[in-house]
């Protein structure tokens, strides 16, 4: 049963389309360092322009007071290069300058609004009704015919640009959004057994929600852990990770999650695998420490930066025999080559596996591209959004699509 509009449902010729993309990208020394998210939305942008839309592109970039909180001028430049046509940067969001430029757009033209988070209303998460009443939505809605949302990576947020137009204008999924939702739904609802979830990185709380949800709802057969997620479960299993690591975890506020991890283990113990060895930086070189060996005392002084080779081998065997794999987050500090062994080893095994695989999270994607890992069925552009999805939470943007379809479906013969 259809419950959302798709791009192909509408005639965009000479219509003004507000496209919410997520082009939030890593920035170093004031320059964007990855165009992965730009490439991901190109099919949607090309489709709209080829079909005669007057296109208004909007994205956020970082948050106030952070080093990568920059204007979208370079975003417009980068997109122009990839598209082979100008995307004009408009140094405004919903003020007179932006509104006049939107009104004067011609079919097949595209503009890029200023960083949405330069608007205070766009920094808070509010229910759809509140988003609808913002100046942002009230000023732009009269100028727009259709809304297309392709910002999957932001779909777990409820902000004016993401959900505010849902009851005011027909809102359709972009091609990227459709591809993401379809891959994640396939893994979650229809995944073939054995279904293995690999959870690493630093988003421990979100990962615990995923573990609890997929095991309780019988959507997963086995969970492999690494990164800080693996360390929290290792502590919960009763292993001592040494003073240096416990201190670090205390600073990060992770020790208070150990009780929750223990409760999950009480219920699902054999289904959750934790590392058997870890790698530390011992005077500038990688040294691996078996959790059951005497060398374990080194963990008092040296921080864990990766999972060890024995863990990688154990995980590899499981992944090569999986039917479905969902992975989020790296196994260690992969930015340092000697500590990328865990992340690269695990992701390579996922790529070699015959399983249908979904991998997401900004750091995961960065390591996949950096180490040329191939064979993964679907690389998701969203980390937090993907975790929310597998935690069984309702994503505000997916709800907004449904509401928009309910509001306009009959009128438009949907």
Same domain, residue pair 258 and 312: yes
Same domain, residue pair 273 and 168: no
Same domain, residue pair 166 and 227: no
- Report yes or no on 184 lying in a domain: no
Which residues, in sequence order, are CB contacts of 267 under 8 Å at separation 6+? 215
Confidence band of 2 (pLDDT split at 50, 70, 90): confident
User: What's the pLDDT tens digit per position in 102-126?
Assistant: 999 999 999 999 999 999 999 999 9
- Report yes or no on 373 lying in a domain: no
CA distances, 51 to each of 44, 45, 171, 176 (Å):
11, 10, 17, 18
Same domain, residue pair 279 and 197: yes
- Report yes or no on 365 lying in a domain: no
Question: What is the total count of domains within the chain?
Answer: 2
pTM, whole model, 2 decimals? 0.94
Residue 319 has pLDDT above 50, yes or no: yes
* Residue 414: predicted pLDDT: 46
- Report yes or no on 162 lying in a domain: yes
What does the pLDDT average to over 70-79?
98
Confidence band of 412 (pLDDT split at 50, 70, 90): low
For a pLDDT cut of 70, what percent of the chain falls above it? 99
Distance CA 78, CA 332 (A): 31
- Report yes or no on 110 lying in a domain: yes
- Report yes or no on 182 lying in a domain: no
CB 266 within 8 A of CB 215: no
Same domain, residue pair 128 and 223: no
Residue 345 has pLDDT above 70, yes or no: yes
CB atoms under 10 Å from CB of 351, counted, come to 18
Look at residues 87, 83, 113 and name the one whose alpha carbon lies nearest to residue 98.
113
Looking at every residue in the chain, the average pLDDT score rounds to 96
CB 236 within 8 A of CB 246: no
Residue 58 has pLDDT above 70, yes or no: yes
Residue 1 has pLDDT above 80, yes or no: no
Beta bridge partners, 273, equal: 224
Same domain, residue pair 135 and 86: yes
* Residue 320: predicted pLDDT: 98
Residue 136 has pLDDT above 90, yes or no: yes
Same domain, residue pair 403 and 299: no
User: What's the pLDDT tens digit per position in 25-40?
Assistant: 989 999 998 898 999 9
Same domain, residue pair 227 and 148: no
**What tokens were used for 120?**
């205070």
Same domain, residue pair 31 and 150: yes
**What tokens were used for 375?**
């064979």
- Report yes or no on 361 lying in a domain: no
Same domain, residue pair 226 and 168: no
- Report yes or no on 359 lying in a domain: no
* Residue 8: predicted pLDDT: 96
User: What's the pLDDT tens digit per position in 351-381?
Assistant: 999 999 999 987 888 888 888 999 999 999 9
Domain that holds residue 107: 5-174+394-408
Three-state SS sequence of the chain: CCCCEEHHHCCCCCCEEEEECCCCCCEECCEECCCHHHHHHHHHHHHHHHCCCEEEEECCCCCCCCCCCCCCHHHHHHHHHHHCCCEEECCCCCCHHHHHHHHCCCCCCEEECCCHHHCHHHCCCCCHHHHHCCHHHHHHHHHCCEEEECCHHHCCCCCHHHHCCCCCCCEEECHHHHHHHHHHHHHHHHCCCCEEEEECCCCHHHHHHHHHHHHHCCCCCEEEECHHHHHHHHHHCCCCCCHHHHHHHHHCCCHHHHHHHHHHHHHHHHHEECCCEEEEEECCEEEEEECCCHHHHHHHCCCEEEECHHHHHHHHHHHHCCCEEEEECCCCCCCCHHHCHHHHHHHHHHHHCCCEEEEECHHHHHHHHHCCCCCCCEECCCCHHHHHHHCCCCCHHHHHHHHHHHHHCCCCCC
Same domain, residue pair 168 and 270: no
Same domain, residue pair 143 and 231: no
* Domain harbouring 148, CATH code: 3.40.50.1260
**Do you find a cis peptide bond into 25, omega within 30 degrees of 0?**
no
User: What's the pLDDT tens digit per position in 275-287?
Assistant: 999 999 999 999 9
Look at residues 8, 114, 10 and name the one whose alpha carbon lies nearest to residue 56.
114
| Cα dihedral across residues 148, 359, 233, 26: positive or negative | negative
């Amino acid at each position: 049963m259809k419950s959302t509009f798709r791009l192909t449902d509408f005639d965009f010729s000479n219509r003004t389309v507000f496209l919410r993309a997520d082009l939030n990208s890593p920035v170093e020394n004031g320059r964007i360092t990855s165009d992965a998210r730009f490439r991901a939305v190109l099919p949607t942008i090309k489709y709209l322009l080829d079909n005669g839309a007057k296109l208004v592109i909007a994205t956020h970039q970082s948050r106030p007071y952070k080093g990568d909180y920059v204007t979208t001028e370079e975003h417009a430049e980068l997109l122009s290069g990839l598209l082979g046509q100008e995307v004009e940067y408009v140094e405004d969001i919903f003020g007179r300058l932006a509104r006049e430029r939107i009104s004067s757009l011609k079919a097949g033209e595209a503009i890029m609004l200023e960083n949405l988070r330069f608007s205070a209303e766009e920094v808070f998460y509010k229910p759809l009704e509140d988003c609808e009443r913002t100046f942002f939505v009230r000023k732009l809605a009269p100028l727009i015919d259709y809304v297309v949302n392709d910002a999957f990576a932001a779909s777990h947020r409820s902000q004016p640009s993401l959900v505010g137009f849902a009851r005011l204008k027909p809102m359709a999924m972009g091609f990227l959004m459709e591809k993401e939702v379809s891959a994640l739904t396939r893994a979650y609802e229809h995944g073939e057994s054995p279904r293995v979830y690999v959870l690493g990185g630093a988003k421990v709380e979100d990962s615990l929600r995923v573990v609890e949800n997929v095991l309780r709802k019988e959507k997963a057969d086995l969970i492999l852990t690494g990164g800080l997620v693996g360390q929290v479960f290792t502590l919960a299993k009763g292993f001592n990770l040494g003073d240096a690591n416990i201190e670090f975890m205390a600073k990060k506020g992770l020790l208070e999650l150990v009780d929750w991890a223990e409760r999950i283990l009480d219920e699902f113990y054999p289904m959750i695998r934790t590392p058997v060895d870890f790698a530390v930086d011992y005077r500038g070189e990688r040294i691996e420490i078996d959790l059951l060996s005497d060398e374990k005392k080194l963990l008092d002084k040296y921080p864990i930066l990766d999972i060890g080779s024995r863990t990688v081998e154990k995980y590899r065997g499981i992944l090569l025999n999986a039917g479905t794999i969902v992975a989020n987050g790296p196994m260690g500090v992969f930015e340092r080559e000697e500590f990328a062994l865990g992340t690269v080893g695990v992701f390579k095994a996922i790529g070699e596996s015959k399983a249908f695989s979904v991998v997401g999270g900004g750091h995961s994607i960065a390591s996949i591209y950096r180490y040329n890992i191939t064979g993964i069925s679907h690389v998701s552009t969203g980390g937090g959004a993907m975790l929310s999805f597998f935690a069984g939470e309702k994503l505000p943007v997916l709800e907004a699509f449904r509401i928009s379809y309910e509001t306009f479906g009959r009128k438009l013969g949907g």
